[in-house]
Amino acid sequence: MKKEDTVKLISAEGFEFVIDKKAAMVSQTIRNMLTSPGSFAETEHGEVTFPEISTTILEKICQYFYWSLQYASGKETEFHIEPELTLELMMAANYLHT
């Protein structure tokens, strides 16, 4: 895995999640950021900051990205979501078009 093939997502509290670009592209919003040159300066450095998404939620979202890739390649498992995260997670998913 090359550094160029990854993207760093930064949470509200400044925690960093380094994930494959391919996984991040599960999110239509991040895909747009990564594929539209010029409009999002931070994506040139492979970093996207989400000041409105908490660390716990952002990690859950990253797990979802990878789960989604696994699901797409035929591994049918459940994606577990803790009930107390549901509301915040849905708001973030809505924002990320995920």
CB 16 within 8 A of CB 55: no
Cβ neighbours of residue 10 under 8 Å, at least 6 residues apart? 16, 17, 47, 48, 49, 50
- Part of the chain binding other proteins (CB under 8 A), chosen from 5-13, 32-40, 45-53: 5-13
Binding mask 78-97 for other proteins (x = CB under 8 A): -x-------------x----
- Part of the chain binding other proteins (CB under 8 A), chosen from 18-26, 29-37, 38-46: 18-26
Number of residues that bind other proteins (CB under 8 A): 33
